[in-house]
């Protein structure tokens, strides 16, 4: 599942339109827009708001096995052209000095940049980094739920030394919309990675079914999980396995049966 | 291809860094204060990173030379290891490096001179006695040779220390630089091999057995001492036939009696490493085999292990001299 975190509706709009996300009508702490395999949360401005939105959305989808994240928004850059799209490769919190490193798993087609997250707006630009107000809070929180390979920051330059467009909401949406194909490409790559990890976990319903066959101690449950994950990943049909196990009358017998199947299978490497 | 290059600001203009960056100039470059900022955080997924690990160019501040773990080595009294790199470009499913670090990025240390000083001091601490320095513990010694030029620095260094011996352990074929040097009796290049079936299933990105035998043969021909490492031997249904085939392939091209040393050990990992690696690769048959915990080490059940070692030893002894054989003793 992919989670988009945007500070403002105007930053989220191009994504909502492109993926035809639907606004959730329920009362929530944050506005969210849902699609099949993604959700977009509008956090409000600032690193604390961004961190809170990440934590809240992760808690709301706690049944998901894996999350990928994109913080999409605008940033200021001294020399960068207005409208330039950059992928963050280093995020520094200006207050604490804490650094975060998103970990790309392939050479990105996008130009990279460091980003300094400030608590207050500033036009005192530096040539070696972008300025924003959310990225460090986003990173700090998202990295609690996912590994760095699944956490990305994408920033579109809205302000530089010569020009400030960040307060013009329609313009911000236009600037982001221009890059929607590149943004989609990044999102697609992240979704694939996320899917790879999620596929390693057995389906929740089959896991619940096997658990219900007997009373397992915590230690037995851990062993069961290892065996079940292995066999499901080796393309054993969970239905066939469950039928086989239905005749076993104890947790120990179930584990013994699954171990014997695993041992036989693994001897072929 | 690596995903990007991180470089510590302190070594940004080090001559070795500049040479590395020349070769890696197409990759995005990110300056950092200390490699641990990128390498050590917990929120990293080794499996995902291994697809395209980044390169980290760094300075090793301390611990350049460390005492080798018990049981590691070739029977000498004084055994040390050093790591000019952390992590390996290959992806062998049985390797403990998969569970060793949070990150799959490759760290290249550029302050070889500090390593050299520590090696000299360590050897001087055991004056007159042979001291072994192992370079292939946290990495493959030669796999990154075109980037690191490791042998250009460390072989002359060892040559200049009378009681120093060095083992380079590798699965690579990168012997070109060594072939241009005068051979040195105190530098042993040890090639690791698994049978062809295990190689195909478990050694991702490793050069073919034939190419590695060819690299070995060229080194032997040039007068370098060479060793063989069958460690780990991995169990599978046809391991016996596959091991015999491997030995046939090796010893039709290499005279087993000319080898410096040969070692053999079955698959084993510490319990912590085993847990971490099997969580990373839940679908991997290697970790689903029947295993046994003994003194914190997970390995095959004793009877299976004994059978494997006895069989492989018996086959091996048909080709090598007994003096060169070093079983991997790890049961304590």
Considering only CB atoms, which chain B residues are within 8 Å of A106? 3, 51-52
| Distance (Å) from the alpha carbon of A239 to chain B's nearest alpha carbon | 18
Minimum-distance CB partner of B288 among A89, A101, A230: A230
At B132, is the secondary structure helix, strand, or coil?
strand
Nearest residue of chain A to residue B234 (CA atoms): A269
Domain that holds residue B262: 5-327
A181 touches B at CB < 8 Å: no
Residues 128-147 of A with CB under 8 A from B: 143-144, 146-147
Contact B48 A105 (CB under 8 A): yes
Question: d(Cα B17, Cα B162) in Å, to the nearest integer?
Answer: 30
B277 touches A at CB < 8 Å: no
Give phi and psi for B7, each to the nearest 5.
Answer: -135, 135
A246 touches B at CB < 8 Å: no
Closest C-alpha to A66, from A191, A224, A249 = A191
pLDDT at B75: 74
Question: d(Cα B83, Cα B141) in Å, to the nearest integer?
Answer: 8
**CATH 3.40.50.1580: does it fit domain A2-199?**
yes
| Distance (Å) from the alpha carbon of A76 to chain B's nearest alpha carbon | 19
Q: Hey, where are the domains in chain A?
A: 2-199, 204-266
Give phi and psi for A86, each to the nearest 5.
Answer: -130, 145
**How wide is the angle at C-alpha B318 spanned by C-alphas B312 and B322, nearest 5°?**
85
| Distance (Å) from the alpha carbon of A203 to chain B's nearest alpha carbon | 14
Domain count for chain B, please give it.
1
A200 touches B at CB < 8 Å: yes
Q: Average pLDDT by consecutive 10-residue portion of chain B (332 residues)?
A: 93 98 95 97 96 96 94 85 97 93 97 98 97 94 96 98 97 98 98 98 98 98 98 98 98 96 96 95 98 95 96 98 87 60
In a domain, B204, yes or no: yes
In a domain, B299, yes or no: yes
| Distance (Å) from the alpha carbon of B52 to chain A's nearest alpha carbon | 5
Whole-angstrom Cα Rg for chain B: 20
- The strand pairing partners of B228, in sequence order, are B191, B262
**A5: Cβ contacts below 8 Å, ≥ 6 apart:** A40, A41, A43, A50, A53, A54, A57, A69, A70, A71, A72, A134, A138, A142
Strand B261-266 versus strand B325-327 pairing type: parallel
Determine the residue among A98, A103, A228 to mutate to test chain B binding: the one whose Cβ has the most chain B Cβ atoms within 10 Å: A103
Cβ neighbourhood burial of A128 (10 Å; 0-12, 13-18, 19+): exposed
In a domain, B73, yes or no: yes
pLDDT at B74: 80
What sign for the dihedral angle of Cα A205, A207, A208, A210? Answer: positive
Minimum-distance CB partner of B4 among A89, A143, A146: A89
Give phi and psi for A265, each to the nearest 5.
Answer: -65, -40
Per-residue pLDDT of chain A (269 residues; tens, 9 = 90+): 999 999 999 999 999 999 999 999 987 899 999 999 999 999 999 999 999 999 999 999 999 999 999 999 999 999 899 999 999 999 999 999 999 999 988 888 999 999 999 999 998 999 899 999 999 999 999 999 999 999 999 999 999 999 999 899 999 999 999 999 999 999 999 999 999 999 999 999 999 999 999 999 999 999 999 999 999 999 899 999 999 999 998 999 999 999 999 999 999 99
Strand A99-100 versus strand A111-117 pairing type: unpaired
**B120: Cβ contacts below 8 Å, ≥ 6 apart:** B157, B161
The DSSP string of B1-46 is --S-EEEEGGGTT-HHHHHHHHHTTTS-EEEES-HHHHHS-SS--H
Count chain A–chain B contacts defined by CB atoms under 8 A.
Answer: 110
What sign for the dihedral angle of Cα A115, A119, A125, A126? Answer: negative
pTM: 0.96
Minimum-distance CB partner of B52 among A106, A226, A265: A106
| Distance (Å) from the alpha carbon of A143 to chain B's nearest alpha carbon | 6
Determine the residue among B6, B9, B45 to mutate to test chain A binding: the one whose Cβ has the most chain A Cβ atoms within 10 Å: B45
Contact B282 A266 (CB under 8 A): no
**How wide is the angle at C-alpha A44 spanned by C-alphas A41 and A49, nearest 5°?**
90
Determine the residue among A68, A109, A256, A269 to mutate to test chain B binding: the one whose Cβ has the most chain B Cβ atoms within 10 Å: A269
| Distance (Å) from the alpha carbon of B285 to chain A's nearest alpha carbon | 4
Contact B38 A101 (CB under 8 A): yes
Contact A269 B37 (CB under 8 A): no
pLDDT at B270: 94
pLDDT at B76: 83
| Inter-CA distances, B221 with A206, B34, B216, Å | 59, 43, 9
Nearest residue of chain B to residue A225 (CA atoms): B282
Give helix B239-251 / helix B302-316 axis angle, nearest 10°: 30
pLDDT at A166: 87
Count CB atoms within 10 A of the CB of residue B187. Answer: 23
Question: d(Cα A43, Cα A250) in Å, to the nearest integer?
Answer: 49
A117 touches B at CB < 8 Å: no
Considering only CB atoms, which chain A residues are within 8 Å of B45? 147-150, 197
Q: Are A172 and B68 in contact (CB under 8 A)?
A: no
Considering only CB atoms, which chain A residues are within 8 Å of B283? 200, 229-230, 233-234
In a domain, B332, yes or no: no
Minimum-distance CB partner of B30 among A89, A150, A200: A89
Question: d(Cα A93, Cα A77) in Å, to the nearest integer?
Answer: 16
The DSSP string of chain A is -EEEEESSHHHHHHHHHHHT-EE--S--SSEEEE-SSEEEEE--SSHHHHHHHHHHHHHHTTT-S--EEEEEEEEE-SSSPTT-EEEEEEEEETTT--EE----SS--SSEEEEEEE-SS-----BTTBEEESSHHHHHHHHHHHS-GGGEEEEEEEEE-SS-B-TT-HHHHHHHHHTTHHHHHHHHHHHHHHHHHHHHTSPPHHHHHHHHTTS---HHHHHHHHHHHHHHHHTT--HHHHHHHHTT--SHHHHHHHHHHHHHHHHTT-
Q: Are A132 and A75 in contact (CB under 8 A)?
A: yes
Q: For the domain that residue B89 is a member of, what is the CATH number? A: 3.80.30.30
Contact A267 B235 (CB under 8 A): yes
DSSP B121: H
Considering only CB atoms, which chain A residues are within 8 Å of B237? 267-268
Contact B43 A144 (CB under 8 A): yes
Write down the ipTM of this complex.
0.94
pLDDT at B72: 79
pLDDT at A95: 98
Considering only CB atoms, which chain A residues are within 8 Å of B48? 103, 105, 147, 149-150, 193, 196-197
What sign for the dihedral angle of Cα A54, A56, A60, A65? Answer: positive
At A260, list the tokens.
Answer: 């014997």
**How wide is the angle at C-alpha B97 spanned by C-alphas B95 and B101, nearest 5°?**
155
Nearest residue of chain A to residue B49 (CA atoms): A105
Considering only CB atoms, which chain A residues are within 8 Å of B3? 103-108
Whole-angstrom Cα Rg for chain A: 23
| Inter-CA distances, B206 with A173, A245, B138, B193, B286, Å | 48, 40, 16, 10, 18
């Amino acid at each position: 599942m992919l989670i988009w975190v945007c500070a403002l509706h105007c930053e989220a709009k191009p994504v909502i339109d492109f993926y035809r996300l639907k606004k959730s009508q329920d009362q929530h702490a944050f506005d969210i827009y849902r699609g099949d395999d993604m959700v977009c949360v509008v956090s409000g401005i600032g690193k604390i708001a961004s961190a809170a939105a990440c934590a809240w959305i992760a808690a709301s989808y706690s049944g998901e096995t894996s999350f990928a994240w994109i913080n999409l928004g605008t940033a200021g850059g001294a020399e960068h052209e207005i409208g330039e799209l950059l992928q963050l490769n280093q995020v520094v919190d200006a207050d604490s000095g804490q650094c975060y490193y998103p970990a790309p798993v392939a050479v990105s087609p996008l130009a990279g940049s460091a980003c300094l997250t400030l608590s207050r707006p500033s036009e005192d630009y530096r040539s070696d980094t972008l300025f924003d107000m959310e990225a460090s809070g986003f990173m700090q929180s998202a990295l609690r739920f996912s590994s760095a390979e699944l956490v990305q920051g994408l920033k579109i330059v809205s302000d530089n030394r010569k020009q400030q467009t960040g307060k013009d909401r329609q313009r911000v949406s236009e600037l982001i919309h221009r890059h929607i194909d590149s943004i989609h490409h990044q999102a697609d790559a992240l979704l694939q990675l996320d899917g790879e990890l999620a596929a390693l976990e057995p389906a929740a319903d089959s896991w619940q079914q096997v658990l219900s066959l007997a009373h397992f101690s915590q230690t037995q449950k851990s062993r069961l999980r290892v065996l079940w994950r292995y066999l499901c990943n080796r393309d054993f049909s969970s239905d066939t396995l469950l039928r086989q196990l239905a005749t076993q009358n104890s947790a120990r017998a179930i584990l013994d049966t699954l171990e014997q199947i695993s041992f036989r299978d693994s001897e072929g490497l | 291809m690596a995903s990007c290059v991180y470089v510590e600001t302190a070594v940004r203009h080090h001559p070795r860094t500049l040479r590395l960056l020349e070769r890696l100039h197409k990759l995005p470059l990110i300056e950092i204060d200390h490699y641990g900022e990128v390498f050590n955080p917990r929120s990293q997924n080794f499996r995902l990173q291994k697809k395209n690990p980044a390169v980290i160019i760094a300075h090793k501040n301390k611990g350049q030379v460390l005492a080798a773990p018990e049981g590691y080595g070739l029977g000498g009294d004084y055994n040390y290891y050093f790591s000019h790199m952390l992590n390996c470009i290959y992806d062998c499913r049985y390797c403990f490096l998969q569970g060793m670090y949070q990150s799959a990025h490759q760290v290249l240390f550029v302050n070889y001179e500090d390593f050299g000083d520590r090696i000299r001091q360590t050897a001087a601490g055991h004056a007159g006695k042979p001291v072994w320095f192992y370079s292939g513990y946290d990495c493959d010694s030669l796999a990154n040779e075109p980037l690191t030029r490791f042998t250009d620095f460390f072989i002359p260094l060892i040559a200049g220390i009378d009681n120093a011996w060095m083992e380079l352990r590798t699965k690579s074929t990168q012997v070109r630089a060594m072939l241009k040097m005068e051979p040195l009796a105190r530098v042993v290049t040890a090639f690791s091999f698994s049978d062809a079936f295990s190689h195909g299933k478990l050694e991702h990105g490793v050069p073919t057995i034939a190419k590695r035998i060819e690299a070995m043969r060229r080194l032997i021909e040039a007068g370098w001492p060479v060793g063989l490492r069958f460690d780990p031997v991995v169990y599978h249904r046809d391991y016996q036939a596959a091991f015999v085939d491997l030995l046939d392939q090796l010893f039709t091209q290499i005279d087993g009696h000319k080898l410096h040393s040969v070692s053999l050990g079955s698959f084993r990992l510490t319990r912590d490493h085993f847990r971490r690696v099997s969580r990373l690769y839940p679908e991997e048959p290697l970790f689903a085999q029947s295993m046994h915990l003994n003194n914190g080490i997970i390995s095959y059940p004793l009877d299976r292990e004994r059978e494997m070692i006895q069989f492989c030893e018996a086959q091996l002894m048909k080709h090598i001299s007994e003096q060169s054989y070093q079983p991997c003793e790890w049961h304590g």
